[in-house]
Amino acid sequence: MIQSRKRKEENQRKHLKPGSKPRIPERKKGILGVTSNHPQQLPTMPPTGSISRTEHFSAAHRLHSPHLSDEENRQVFGKCNHASGHGHNYVLETIVRGPIDAKTGMVVNIEHLKRWIKAAVLDVADHRNLDADIAFFKTRPSTTENLAVFIWIRLTQLMPAGLLHKIVVSETPKNKVVFTGDGLADADFRDCVV
């Protein structure tokens, strides 16, 4: 800061008319007592941060919509519509966002986040057949998109309001669904029972 001020003064002197003095900007004390040329800005909110937790679970399913005929299901879902179903090793990334608490230095206690994910998702979906074991998928196909909706609803039922920011559900290393809760209706929440 001092070096850049000296450079400015030297540059001003080079371009001055003989006998005039360089213009030096007024320096103000900042919020931390540090002298600065910038106007004082007071923080209005605590800093905001995001925390991400990744978990893995395995589940079976069959892509089959109750709203389509058997032939339409075969055409739409191909081999994923096989009557015996198939399974995935899903990867769930849960991202929460909020103010960083001044006392704890945390957005959320990671132990709480681990417990919420376990109760909302792992205890319900790990080593299960999504279609047979979870009522939510009786009326909708168990696509990764709908699985993300299910997970979002389950997590928001356990977490403080507004904390959940985004989830990413990976069905394979190449196929991921990102969901932020947009477009949910009350009916979605009513249907989300295990």
Whether residue 182 lies inside any domain: the answer is: yes
Tokens of 123: 């205890």
Q: Does 100 lie in the same domain as 29?
A: no
Percent of the chain with pLDDT over 70: 77
Q: Does 114 lie in the same domain as 31?
A: no
- DSSP 8-state code for residue 120: I
CB 111 within 8 A of CB 43: no
- DSSP 8-state code for residue 168: E
Q: Does 52 lie in the same domain as 26?
A: no
Answer yes or no: 171 catalytic: yes
Q: Does 150 lie in the same domain as 82?
A: yes
Q: Which residues pair with 179 in a beta bridge?
A: 167
**What is the CATH classification number for the domain harbouring 186?**
3.30.479.10
- pLDDT given at position 9: 65
Whether residue 41 lies inside any domain: the answer is: no
Whether residue 42 lies inside any domain: the answer is: no
Whether residue 135 lies inside any domain: the answer is: yes
Q: What is the mean pLDDT of the chain?
A: 86
Q: Does 15 lie in the same domain as 59?
A: no
Spatial strand order in the sheet of 48-61: 128-129, 48-61, 86-99, 164-170, 176-179
Closest CA to 72 of 141, 134, 132: 141
Banded pLDDT at 67 (limits 50, 70, 90): very high
The Cα-based distances of 89 to 128, 143, 144 in angstroms read: 11, 14, 12
What domain count does the chain have? 2
Domain around 27: 2-36
Whether residue 127 lies inside any domain: the answer is: yes
Whether residue 43 lies inside any domain: the answer is: no
CB 61 within 8 A of CB 86: yes
Of the listed 61, 67, 80, 86, which one is catalytic?
Answer: 80
Q: Does 81 lie in the same domain as 113?
A: yes
Q: Does 181 lie in the same domain as 100?
A: yes
Tell me the per-residue pLDDT of 33-64, one tens digit each, with 9 for 90 and over. Answer: 555 565 566 657 889 999 999 999 999 999 99
Tokens of 66: 């109750």
Residues near 12 by beta carbon (within 8 Å), at least 6 away in sequence: 22, 23
Reduce the DSSP state of residue 74 to 3 states and report it.
helix
Tell me the per-residue pLDDT of 101-141, one tens digit each, with 9 for 90 and over. Answer: 999 999 999 999 999 999 999 999 999 999 999 999 999 99
Answer yes or no: 165 catalytic: no
